[in-house]
Amino acid sequence: MKSIFKFGGCCVVIFLVGGLGATLFGYLVSRREVRLAQQMMRDVAQLQVEVSTFNDVRAFGQKYNGEMTGTWHDNPCLESNCLVDVTPDQHNFWERHPKLQYAASYIARREWRFHILIWVKDGKLTAVEQWFVYLTPKVSAAVITSVYPPDRGLCGNQFYQLHRTFAANPGPKHFNVWVSPRAIQEKEMLWLNVDCVLRASGCRGVPDMAQAAWRAYEKDQRIIDANGSKSANQIVPAAECR
């Protein structure tokens, strides 16, 4: 009987040590990826929509070992049409070690993903998106920031009509942040707080993940609520909406 208890105790110790080891390893990998994601955001902020060239974008993609294809992934990346996708998991570590990823996610009970997507058309950068997704048993949140010239797709957005240089608002599946390429003063809203994934408490949802954008959204929502009865006909449409 004593040998059974001794064996059981050893198994528990091994399990706890293994669990702590997997947790620590997962944290170290996440910390490296968070720092890399932050550097990616700083670097992509140096690129300019409608100004930066195909070579500028390709250099960014190569620096971070990004995937470069055509807009349709089956097509090659060409100067006339290219999509660059970069992620902090540069060498696909988790894809190469799925069991380790499962163990780390199961123990930590959280998962996060970060991507930067850049489109090039006819030799010029045309749009940039940043995707930040955070998942736990209690929190499921996603933020997508976008930088591209205003188009008719923004016309029905009340938040866009308030400023026409940025719009931050919830969508059906994620929180949207759009900033005009010329709105340099609004670029703070593009910064995503990926640091929160390293806290013991984790990210507290979109307000924590996109702090500046969320503050802008709350302010604009109060304005919209206060002027809810204002007729849409009283708003002078933007040039792209006429």
pLDDT, tens digit (0-9, with 9 covering 90-100), for 59-113? 999 999 999 999 998 999 999 999 999 999 855 555 555 555 555 554 456 899 9
Question: What average pLDDT score do residues 27-44 get?
Answer: 88
Q: pTM of the entire structure?
A: 0.81
Report the relative pairing of strands 140-147 and 175-179 from DSSP bridges. Answer: parallel
| Cα separation of the two ends of the chain | 84
Res 231 pLDDT > 50: no
**3-state SS, residue 142:** strand
pLDDT, tens digit (0-9, with 9 covering 90-100), for 180-219? 999 988 999 999 999 999 998 999 999 999 999 999 999 9
pLDDT at 24: 40
Res 58 pLDDT > 80: yes
pLDDT at 30: 79
Res 159 pLDDT > 50: yes
pLDDT at 15: 40
Inter-residue contact 85 to 117 (CB < 8 Å): yes
Q: What is the DSSP letter of 174?
A: S
pLDDT at 236: 57
For residue 96, which amino acid is it? Answer: R
User: Residues for the chain: how many in total?
Assistant: 242
Q: What is the mean pLDDT of the chain?
A: 84
pLDDT confidence band for 227 (50 / 70 / 90): confident
The full set of domain ranges for the chain reads 2-241
Res 13 pLDDT > 50: no
pLDDT at 193: 97
Question: What average pLDDT score do residues 18-27 get?
Answer: 44
pLDDT confidence band for 149 (50 / 70 / 90): very high
Backbone angles phi, psi at 55, to 5 degrees: -65, -35
What is the per-residue DSSP string for 91-127? T-HHHH-HHHHHHHHHHHT-EEEEEEEEEEETTEEEE
